[in-house]
Structure formats: C-alpha cells, structure tokens
Structure 1
Amino acid sequence: MPMERRNFSSILFGLLLVLSTGTAAVTFHSVLATWGMTAAEWLLLGLYTILVVWIGSSFWICVFGAIRLLGDNRRQRGEKPMPLLHPGPWQHARTAVVMPLYHEEAERALDGLRATYESLEELGAIEAFHFFVLSDSRDPAKCRNEERAWLRLCRDLGAGGRLFLRRRKCNTGKKAGNIQEFCERWGRCYDYMIILDADSIMAGETILDMMRRMEAEERLGLLQAWPTPVNGRSLFARVQQFAANVQGRLIAAGLSVLMEPCGTYWGHNAIIRVEAFMQSCGLPRLSGRPPLGGEILSHDFVEAALLLRRGWRIRIMVDGEGSYEEGPPNLIEHMNRDRRWCQGNLQHARLILTEGFKFPSRMNFVMGVLSYAASPLWLAFMMLAVVVAAQPLPFHLEALRAWLMSMNDHGVPSHIPWLIGLTVTLLLGPKALGLLLGVVDAERRRASGGAAALCASIVLEVAVTALIAPLMMLMHAEFVATTLAGYTTKWDAQQRDTDAIKLRDAARLLGPRCAVGATLAAMAAWWAPALIFWMLPLLVSFVVAIPLVVLSSREHKERGPARLPWLFRTPPETMPSPVLSRLRSVRALRGRRRLFHVRQDDPLEAEVSLLLGRGPAS
C-alpha cells in the first residue's frame, strides 16, 4: 500500500504539472498566434513554457505539502502525546554528533552545540553520544579561537571525554572531505552520525525521535529533518524566516510525500546510518577544471543520490519541531551564499545522466540547476518580450485588429484574464496555502499574532520580496554567466551575525547592478511603449533596492518608528522550545560579559595540545 500511494502521488503530481503547463502554454500561444507566429514569438513561447514548469512545480509541491500537513494536524488532535522518556534506541546505539567548521565564529557555533548537548543531557540520554568539532580552519587566529571556545565548553559541561576537537592537516574536499576523514578514522565506532552546520540547533527530543525511526527501518540510510529558520533580528532575516515558516514548510512536506523513500539531503540537521554512508558516499572528482570541474562543492544532493543508488532509503521528516538553523542577516550575505551555491548546483548538470542514479535523484539535480538557471531565463524572456512588442508598425496594426476581434462582451480579450490569472495563481498560490494552514491551525495562528497579523505579514512579505526580486534575478543571472565563463568563487565562511549595512557599502556593491537594471527597464519602456506598465514596477524596484537593503539589514527593535514587532512572527519566536530558550539565554549572558575569555596562563590551556585530535577508544 505505501508503495502504491507514493506512486499515485508522483503520477498525479506529473499529470497536474503537465495540465497546468499545457493550459498556460496554449493560452499564451493564442495571445501570440492569432495572425501567425514569428521565430521570436516561438522562442518566447518556449521560454514561457519552461518557466511555467518551474513555478508550476513549486505550486503543486506546496499543494501536496498542504494536504500532508492538514492530515497531520487532524491526526495529532486525536492522538495522545507520546511520553518522552520511554525505552529507546539510545540504550544500545552509539551516535556521533558532528559539526564541521571552517573559519566560523567559534563561540557562536558552539553555542548551538552546547544547547543540543544540554538538551540530550536533560533527557538522560547523553551516554549514547559523542560530539565532534571537525575544524578545517587555516587562519591562526580562527584556530586559536576554536581551541579556546572548545576548551571552555568542555569545562562548562564537564564533557572532556565526550566532546572532541579535531583539525585536519589538509582540508582536501572541503566539508565533504572533512566528514569523509571522520568516517575513515572513527566511523566504525558509531551506528549513526548527526550532521550539524555552524548555525544548527537540534532538540534532544527530535534527535531521539529520529533515532527511533532509524532503528525501526533497517534500510533507512538517511533521515532529513526540516530545519526551521530562527533567531532573525534584522528585518531581512525576519522576513526570510517568516517566508520559510509559511511556504518552506509546505515545500518540505510536499517533497516528503512525492519523493519518499527516495528523498533528499540538505547537508545538515540529518541523521545518517554510518555503515550506509561509508559504503556509498565517496565523492568522485569531476573531470576538467573548476568551476564546473574538480571537487564537487554542493555535496549533499550527490551523497543522497549515491545512497539511493546502493539501495538505501532517504526520508524527509516534517512532523514535529526541534530542528533549527540561522539564516543570513542581510541581502548581501544572502547573495554571497547564493554565489557559492550557484557554482555547486551548476556542477550537478554534469551528473544528471550518471549511470545508476534513480529518477528522483536526477530530478533533484534538474531542480537544483533550475533554481539558478531560472533567473537568466526570466531575463531572456523579458528582453525577448520587448523585442516582440517593438516590432514594426504593420505588425501592430494586425495585432490590434486581432486584439479587437478577440474582445468579449466586457471589452477584454477573453484569453488575457485566464493567462494572468493562471500565472498569478502559480506564483502566489503557495502563499495562500500557507495562510490557509496558518489560520486553520489554532496554535500556529496564535503564535503568528492572530489571523489579521498573519494576513498583514504575508502581504508585506510578498511586497518586500517583489521589490528585491528583480535585483536578485539580475544577480543570479550574473552568477550563472560568470560561472559558465570560468570564474570560480571562493568557498568561505558565511558571516552569520553582522552589523547593519551602511549606505555607501550598499551603493558600492549593488549600485552598478541597480543602474544596469534601471537603465534596461527604462530603455525597454521607451523602445516598446506598449510594455510601459510592465516595466514601471521593475524600474521602481531598482530605484528603491539600495535603501531597502540598508533598511532591512538593521536589527529589529521592540520600539521606534517604522518597527512593527507584531509582524513576521513565527512559532519558534513566540513559543520557543527549551533548546532555543537555552541558546538565547547563553548568548544574552555572553553579551553582558565575555564568557569564553581564557588567560594565556590558564593551566588548562597547557592541556589543549594533548587533547586536540584525540578520539574515543574503539
């Protein structure tokens, strides 16, 4: 039965996507083809069809996710809560909690590890876990900060024999190589490993629940928990984490329905069966030179495909809370991260046809490539639309005649409202579904400040996203073009907690791009006056982009003009779990005094050289 339901969901998804794409393409064709089609119009139709496949897939994934979450809510209301401390797999399974670091702010990263450790300790399950900080850092100051932060954490937790710091001599393979070396050295000591990023936090209850599921399914190689974005303080971060709670949750739930048991891996907040990983996940080196050759940068999708190829299962876990991550604090840091991800995802185009990969893995690669390739396609679509609209006058006279002949009783071409309505539905439908789920679920509605606050937040989130979308489209198109041209990005640490962006810095970094975008929009409106009402929003967005980036990078305050603390509220913010409350209290305390200061003559520092690199006994 589960296999039949899964196949039915995937087939139904494909049929719905084909139906919506076909309807949109036929309707757009009817707009263009009343009096014949030029080569430019055929190309415009092809680009539109590809883009509708992209936005339509996101819409239908969210539809399936909404159905899944509504069903989960209904079942949970009729179930008794499961006691937390009943016998579980931690009594006999050994698990490594692994956090790779590379030039991160060590104190901030280890705050999350501390909260996770204390959460497991509170549940009485800490004996089954060892914690590893796997450093790839090369900067001496960063390395010293990591050692001090780790040493202080060992002292505070009394975890000297349970919390280890390891620094590699050579950081070949970056994060994937770091995990590989850990498995080669100590993997056989453990049944499972939990991968955390430097911004990851996980509740002990969630970890134990994931272990139960791994124990219950022998061929389950990886269980991916959906990481909820939290702790955003700037307007940009709050808008992003609100959008993730509204729409990202739907996407994760939809993927869990459509892909299981051939799910995906996002590189962190996941539990992995070590035996399966060691059997399957040695990464190949791509032929040729970077950026499209050499080491695989975005390793997670590839490791998921390798696990599935060896017959292991992967599932996505969306029910329950307790898996968290922290996002970029401003648009510039967000785009710096996207620049690295773009290069990694474009490499996956070379793996789509790899022998032995399953169909869901191939589609995962395709969607990853399209997540960035869609931007140059949108840009090409708009430029081509300008060319078509600016064709010589005789064409316009014939088009005007066709337009008038297709008028309905209300004086509007009959196919135009259908085309606009369908496109808007595919674009904004996921927001509407997220609003519906938020209103129906009483607990989430209260956590969001009520139905009115939820509606207002979604409207403002759509407005902010629409204003920065043209700039992001232009930058993503630039990333794709420079990657294909051979430019290799530096894969460095993300700045996770930065000061507000200054106006001069935003103007220096984004000004030339905004100027190019505004110039192109103005030229398009001048060259094709029929499109002036379509170009005007683009022109406005490029004009306001820099002030918006500066304003949205500022830290959110409870008081002050233009600050609305009742907007963009999320359940983890208003009803934080104990692990989040613990994390926030640690950071608040460190803000008042320097928690991790260790004097040079501290006697424990002499032990660092003896403790570094040591692992548990086999």
Structure 2
Amino acid sequence: MALPVDQKLTDTIPPPAPLDMPIQDLKSWAGKARPVGNGADVVMARIFVFGASLLITGFGTWKMYEVISPVNVTALQVLFASFFALTFAWIAFSCASAILGFAMLMRGRPALPPLAGIEETGRTALLMPVYNEDPERVFNALLRMGQALRREGVARRFDIFVLSDTRKDSIAAAEREAFSWLRRQLSPAMRVYYRRRENNHHRKAGNIADFVTRWGAAYDHMIVLDADSDMSAAAMITLARAMAADPQAGIIQSLPLLQNRWTPFARMTQFAGRVYGPLVATGLAAWHGRDGNYWGHNAIIRTRAFAEAAGLPELTGRKPFGGHVLSHDFVEAALIRRAGYAVTMLPQLAGSYEETPPSLVDLATRDRRWAQGNLQHIKIVGAKGLHWVSRVHLVQGIMSYLASPLWLMLLMAGLLLATVARHVTPNYFPESFSLFPVWPVFDPELALRLFAITFGVLYLPKLLALLLALRDPDLRKGCGGVAGLFKSVAAETLVSMLLSPVMMLIQSRFVADVFLGRDSGWNAQNRDDQAMPLAACARTHAAHVLGGLGFAVLSFHVSWAAFLWLAPIAGALMLSPLVSWASGLPELGRRLWHWNVFRIPEEAPRRPEEAAFDEDLAAEPLLEAAQ
C-alpha cells in the first residue's frame, strides 16, 4: 500500500532547529556553585546518612579489632582491617540510606512536587536511541506510549524521535518499515520522526547530543528512553508538568520498575526492584535533595540546560580510561548541577518501567561495559566546579565495582592471616617489658557476634522493605499476599547469597581487565527469555568452580573453623553452573509464579494502557504490516 505523500520516508526528520552544545572543560570552571533550593530537611538527611554510616563502620571495625585482638600490630592485620573497613563502609552506607527511606515512608508516601498546568508544559520530545535492537519490541513500546498520550488528549505536545545508531543494514531496513507503520498508527494526532546516523560517534551520549544540536531549539524538554523503556501517559505528563513548574530544574528522574521477564533470575530481580527499590530510592531522594543523579533513561531533561552544560569531552589517554565517556549519565547530571540547575528524583511517581537482563550471563555481559564506564569516573571525579554531592555520586559508581575486588582481597587476606596464625610460632615474650607472656587470642564468640552484626547491616534493608510491603495492601496483594511475600523474600535472599560470590569474581575480573587496558567494546543486549544450555553454563563458570575449590582447599588446610566460615562462598562458586543455568529457565520462572513466588503487582491485572494497546494493535500488527 502506497503511503500518503507526507508520510514517505523522505520526510523522516523535522525542519532544523539547531542548538549550540559546547564541549565542557573538566579542568577549569570559572563559575561559582549556585544553591538550588535545598531545605533544612535535606541537610538533616545528609547528616543522618553520613553520620550513621560512619558510626556503623566504626563500630564494625572496632569489633573486628577485638576479634583479631592484636598486641603487636602487624602489616597483615592492618591490611585485613583496612579491607574490612572499606567493605563494611560500603554496606553501611546502603543500610543508612535504607533506614532513612523507611523513616520517610513510615510517615506516608512523599507528595509530588508542585505541577504546572498542562497548557504550560510547552513541547516535549520522546527520544528512543536504538543500537541493533529488535524493531518490533521497540516500536510496539512506542506505539503503546503514543496511544496513551493520544487518549489523554496531549499527543500534540509530544513528538517521538527514533534515533538509530544501528550498524546492521538488515535491522535498519526493519526499523524503517516499523517507523512507517508507527507513523500510520499515530497519524495525524502525533508526530513521529526517524534518523539513522552514519557515524555513531560517542555512542548513546553522542546520539542524544546529535538530536540536541539538530532540533533541540524546537523542544522545551526531552524524555530520554532506553530500548526496553515503557512509561504511562500519566508519568510522562507529570514529568513535563513538574519540569514546567520548576524553572531551575535541569533533570527530573523517575524510578523505573522492572517488568516483562519470565526467567527466575529476572523475576527475582523484578521482585527485588519492586519491593526493595522504593525504600532505597526514597532514602536516596531524601539526602540527594536537588543535587541528585541521572540514570540515563526514563527521565525528563530541560533541553537548553542540557545543551548549555552537558557537552561531554573526549577523555585524554588510551582506552579504557580514555576516549568517549561510557557511563555518561552520572557525568551529565554532575555537569548540569555544576551549571546551577537542580537534579531531582521522584521515586513516588508511578508508571515508569524497564526490563532486566534475563540471566546472570546476560547481566555480566552488560556489567562489563558498565564497569569500564564507572571506573572511567576516576578521571572525572576531580573535575573543577562539581558539587560535592555530585562527586559522591561518582565515587558511588566507582565503588559499586571496586567493592567486589575489595571483598575478594578481604577473603584472601583473612586466609593468609589465619595461615600465619597457625604456622608461625608466636612471640610469647616480646622485647618490651611485660610481667606476663603475650598469648595469641582469637575469640570465636566475638567472631560470631561480628558475623551477626555484618549480617544485620547487610539484610536490614530487606527486612524494612518487607515490613513496608506488609503494610501496603495493594503491594501485599500484588506480591501474592503475606505468604507470597515471605516466600519471595526468602527465595530472593537464598538465590542472592548463591549469586553474590559469583558476581564478586566476575566483577573482580572486570576491574582487572579495565586496569590492564582492555576495552569492553559496545554490543547490543540480549532482551529475550532464552535459556542457556547447561554445557555452555559449565564452560562459562568453569573458572568460578575452580575458585570455589581453591577456597575450600585453602581454608580446610588452615583449619576446620576457616573451612566452615568460607563454606557458603566456596559452595556457591562450585554450584555456579547449575544455579546460573536454572535461574535462566523461563519454564521454571513460570512455575515459580504458580507457586506464588516472585510475583509483582504489575502482572495482574494488566495495566489499562496495555489492554487498550492490545485492542488497537489488532487492527494492523507490526509483523503483518512489514510483510
């Protein structure tokens, strides 16, 4: 069927509306830090989070000191205590943020900020950057969002842009067919555009910058999506109204919840995000205030603020630390805040969704690039003019990957310390004057007490989130009732304990790769529930099995006590092929759903916009239109 003249693919882009986007200098900054309106409540939240983190870390480190009871402090003991303090500080900070979030939510769900009238929102571009993605999945999601906006009567205030960086011509041809189909579906209520770059310079960040410099002046705001993003009309409209009501806002970030996957690994992640996520995000939003962060998608951005402040430079040096900025979102938020714009988060905003990798192997594939991007921030954290909270965000991104090798080094230092304690003859009569001999001491009761403290700090956020879920009738019902919640939390805790040592080794290798100068490259993510054969899982996790055997043998050589302490970690590593394989089986995920495990409210009943979308899609499915 021939398209109308105004819908031919020659008319895929709007008239030019260029906006200058200067490259930012990270080594100098002539401006001054400008306040963005944080109140006393934000200051108190920061005092609590950082103060509680310091106290928890100090208490835990003191208890560790008591366990090893050094009289003549050795370098190995100092090293072990240092690794412990850094690792414990990481979980203590997360725990303190969760406690803050719990206190906030116990007082009631935070209210949305002031909202402007819809007539004051101006024009907003919905940006969908794609790179070798499945066109059917992407364009169906865009149709769902476009139809939802049309039903709300605001479609003319939003334009859709598909910004393609696709390198495969066959996928690009399918994108053009899907674009034609999408335009037919939404015309004339909503404008849809498509642009494919010949050179995908700077990847996604360059893709967004290309939009801004070509057409940014025509739009007040842009909502940046990911290929797996989905947003309700109410969420998009609320973001636009919140941005219009706050002239100082540069970025407003929503909290994307996870959905649409059926493997046990993905369903566990979806459940954790749905039950634990709002608690953590509420705590973060409380102490971030208006100096917040950006996660790269499902957020609205003031276009002129982005153009003014977020032009990313090429980092000096060779890859992986040099070159274009991979984890650009944290840096863009820091630069926009440096320019005097507020960056906020609305964890209470419903209707923002994304998808999660279907398996541990797929998560690791994505994590490799994220590890390199976050470690690049080592070169950026000292940039001139950044707000101190922005520097904290960058450090958190760095620590999210350094925490794994720190944990690994803590385990190795502990084994070495225990080996020395067993095989080196103690010095009962030191040279310094003493009335009594100096006996080596290791108090098992204190060690168990320290283990209980560490366990409590690590799992307290889950307990607090469970209490909040039990108090919320809608969430409780959507997760399968009281029994479903308890079963799901217990299952998630068990599987997380099995997967954590594996991720420790995976991320430790990633960090080593980055410091050895190995670039991650850029590959499209797997977004399908496709089981991985057990033999392939065995090959992928062979090194982890060997690592588990190594921990078991070394700890057994030291003592039975050391073996028992490390048995959970060694056992998890040796079971990694089986756990990885089983957690990637969609059939098992569906069976868990029938067993009332890992259910989330978004699955039943279907959201109204999804039901309406299914009815409209029946008129001309994308696959039939493309044939």
TM over 0.5: same fold? yes
User: Which residue number in structure 1 is paired with residue 32 of structure 2?
Assistant: none
Alignment of 1:601-616 (within 5 A): none
User: Which residue number in structure 2 is paired with residue 567 of structure 1?
Assistant: 597
Kindly indicate whether the alpha-carbon contact (under 8 Å) linking 1:386 and 1:528 is maintained by their aligned counterparts in 2.
Answer: no
- Equivalent position to 1:64, from 96, 100, 109: 100
Give the whole-Å Cα distance in 1 for the aligned partners of 2:577 and 2:616.
Answer: 35
User: Which residue number in structure 2 is paired with residue 602 of structure 1?
Assistant: none
- Greater mean alpha carbon deviation, residues 148-157 or residues 119-128: 148-157
Give the whole-Å Cα distance in 2 for the aligned partners of 1:389 and 1:248.
Answer: 38
Give the whole-Å Cα distance in 2 for the aligned partners of 1:522 and 1:113.
Answer: 54
Kindly indicate whether the alpha-carbon contact (under 8 Å) linking 2:372 and 2:514 is maintained by their aligned counterparts in 1.
Answer: yes
Alignment of 1:186-197 (within 5 A): 186-197=215-226
- Find the residue that maps to 2:261 and give its secondary structure: coil
Q: Residues 495, 340 of structure 1: CA spacing in aligned structure 2 closer, same or farther, 3 A cutoff? A: same
User: Which residue number in structure 2 is paired with residue 603 of structure 1?
Assistant: none
Give the whole-Å Cα distance in 2 for the aligned partners of 1:168 and 1:509.
Answer: 35
Q: Does 2:56 correspond to 1:20? A: yes
Letter aligned with residue 161 of structure 2: F
Alignment of 1:172-571 (within 5 A): 172-391=201-420, 392-393=422-423, 403=441, 413=445, 415-556=446-587, 564-571=594-601
Give the whole-Å Cα distance in 1 for the aligned partners of 2:614 and 2:472.
Answer: 27
- Equivalent position to 2:185, from 149, 156, 162: 156
Deviations 1:447-481 (A, max 9, x none): 11111210111011010011111111101000000
- Deviation of 1:34 after TM superposition, in Å, equals 4.4
Deviations 1:411-442 (A, max 9, x none): x63x3344222211111011101101101112
Kindly indicate whether the alpha-carbon contact (under 8 Å) linking 2:470 and 2:476 is maintained by their aligned counterparts in 1.
Answer: yes
- Find the residue that maps to 1:72 and give its secondary structure: coil
Give the whole-Å Cα distance in 1 for the aligned partners of 2:477 and 2:438.
Answer: 53
Give the whole-Å Cα distance in 2 for the aligned partners of 1:56 and 1:511.
Answer: 33
- Deviation of 1:520 after TM superposition, in Å, equals 3.4
Alignment of 1:133-172 (within 5 A): 133-158=162-187, 162-172=191-201
User: Which residue number in structure 2 is paired with residue 121 of structure 1?
Assistant: 150
Give the whole-Å Cα distance in 2 for the aligned partners of 1:455 and 1:87.
Answer: 41
Kindly indicate whether the alpha-carbon contact (under 8 Å) linking 2:544 and 2:576 is maintained by their aligned counterparts in 1.
Answer: no
User: Which residue number in structure 2 is paired with residue 607 of structure 1?
Assistant: none
- Find the residue that maps to 2:623 and give its secondary structure: coil
- Deviation of 1:209 after TM superposition, in Å, equals 1.0
Letter aligned with residue 602 of structure 2: P
Give the whole-Å Cα distance in 2 for the aligned partners of 1:396 and 1:564.
Answer: 59
Deviations 1:154-200 (A, max 9, x none): 22233596011101121111000010010011000010100010000
- Deviation of 1:556 after TM superposition, in Å, equals 4.1
User: Which residue number in structure 1 is paired with residue 626 of structure 2?
Assistant: 598
Give the whole-Å Cα distance in 2 for the aligned partners of 1:132 and 1:559.
Answer: 35
Give the whole-Å Cα distance in 1 for the aligned partners of 2:426 and 2:607.
Answer: 62
- Deviation of 1:581 after TM superposition, in Å, equals 4.3
Q: Residues 396, 320 of structure 1: CA spacing in aligned structure 2 closer, same or farther, 3 A cutoff? A: farther
Q: Residues 235, 390 of structure 1: CA spacing in aligned structure 2 closer, same or farther, 3 A cutoff? A: same
Kindly indicate whether the alpha-carbon contact (under 8 Å) linking 2:128 and 2:162 is maintained by their aligned counterparts in 1.
Answer: yes
Letter aligned with residue 106 of structure 2: L
- Find the residue that maps to 2:626 and give its secondary structure: coil
Give the length in aligned residue pairs.
581
User: Which residue number in structure 2 is paired with residue 606 of structure 1?
Assistant: none
Identity, in percent, stands at 34
Deviations 1:69-100 (A, max 9, x none): 23334x78xx9xx9xxx983346511100000
User: Which residue number in structure 2 is paired with residue 36 of structure 1?
Assistant: 72
State the Cα RMSD in Å: 2.5
- Find the residue that maps to 2:345 and give its secondary structure: strand
User: Which residue number in structure 2 is paired with residue 615 of structure 1?
Assistant: none
Give the whole-Å Cα distance in 1 for the aligned partners of 2:554 and 2:166.
Answer: 48
Give the whole-Å Cα distance in 2 for the aligned partners of 1:555 and 1:400.
Answer: 60
Give the whole-Å Cα distance in 1 for the aligned partners of 2:171 and 2:425.
Answer: 65
User: Which residue number in structure 2 is paired with residue 109 of structure 1?
Assistant: 138
- Equivalent position to 1:579, from 609, 612, 623: 609
Deviations 1:130-169 (A, max 9, x none): 1000001111111111111111222223359601110112
Kindly indicate whether the alpha-carbon contact (under 8 Å) linking 1:471 and 1:514 is maintained by their aligned counterparts in 2.
Answer: no
Kindly indicate whether the alpha-carbon contact (under 8 Å) linking 1:281 and 1:307 is maintained by their aligned counterparts in 2.
Answer: yes
- Greater mean alpha carbon deviation, residues 472-481 or residues 247-256: 247-256
- Equivalent position to 1:48, from 78, 81, 84: 84
Q: Residues 252, 396 of structure 1: CA spacing in aligned structure 2 closer, same or farther, 3 A cutoff? A: farther
- Deviation of 1:584 after TM superposition, in Å, equals 7.1
Q: Residues 395, 460 of structure 1: CA spacing in aligned structure 2 closer, same or farther, 3 A cutoff? A: farther
Structure 1: 5+ residue runs without aligned partners?
Answer: 407-411, 600-618
Give the whole-Å Cα distance in 2 for the aligned partners of 1:209 and 1:543.
Answer: 48
* TM-score, normalised via structure 1 length: 0.89
Q: Residues 363, 580 of structure 1: CA spacing in aligned structure 2 closer, same or farther, 3 A cutoff? A: farther
- Find the residue that maps to 1:130 and give its secondary structure: strand
- Find the residue that maps to 1:535 and give its secondary structure: helix
Q: Residues 207, 559 of structure 1: CA spacing in aligned structure 2 closer, same or farther, 3 A cutoff? A: closer
* TM-score, normalised via structure 2 length: 0.88
Letter aligned with residue 334 of structure 2: A
Kindly indicate whether the alpha-carbon contact (under 8 Å) linking 1:195 and 1:267 is maintained by their aligned counterparts in 2.
Answer: yes
Deviations 1:316-341 (A, max 9, x none): 01113100001111111111000110
Give the whole-Å Cα distance in 2 for the aligned partners of 1:190 and 1:198.
Answer: 22
Q: Residues 582, 69 of structure 1: CA spacing in aligned structure 2 closer, same or farther, 3 A cutoff? A: farther
Deviations 1:486-527 (A, max 9, x none): 110121111101411111211222223322333233233324
- Deviation of 1:576 after TM superposition, in Å, equals 4.0
- Deviation of 1:529 after TM superposition, in Å, equals 3.8
Give the whole-Å Cα distance in 2 for the aligned partners of 1:12 and 1:209.
Answer: 30
- Deviation of 1:50 after TM superposition, in Å, equals 0.5
- Find the residue that maps to 1:390 and give its secondary structure: helix
